[in-house]
Structure 1
Amino acid sequence: MKNQMQKQRWEDMSTGRRAGAIVAGAVQIALAVAAWVDLAKRPAEQVNGPKGLWGVIIAINFIGPISYFVAGRRRSG
């Protein structure tokens, strides 16, 4: 019997699971790139905390870029 926690190989995945993995990866990369571009263009005064730290945090799966967009940028006005 196959262990439930065992990693599935790409060849063993259904077409739907493969598509889901590709979409999730693309979304994750797009979020990270958008966050890094925003961070690079944004002046340090408009970032909550050190820009270098946010650059590293953004690399953490979906949580990093979302955290940056929610808490890393200062609101103007």
Structure 2
Amino acid sequence: MEPFVVFLGFAVIALVALVAWYGRNRSAIEQDDSDPDNHTLRSDYQSGMGGGNVATWKVPKDPQDYAKLFVPSNKKK
């Protein structure tokens, strides 16, 4: 029984390392050729207990347009 537990421990460690390596190489910006004016950003959250959240949103590629998103709409010009 003990060799099985050791093997299972190594398998779990290898699986965790593989998932971490895969996640490290994923880009936070998805390449979306259908929308040339925006970046598609992705945010992943995994709690480790079976829950998690994946969110995506689009932001303008132009830095000036991106900065305008943070200015309140009622701000005087």
| TM-score, scaled to structure 2 | 0.41
Higher helix share: 1
- Higher RCO, 1 vs 2 (CA within 8 Å, ≥6 residues apart): 1
Larger radius of gyration: 2
| TM-score, scaled to structure 1 | 0.41
Higher strand share: 2
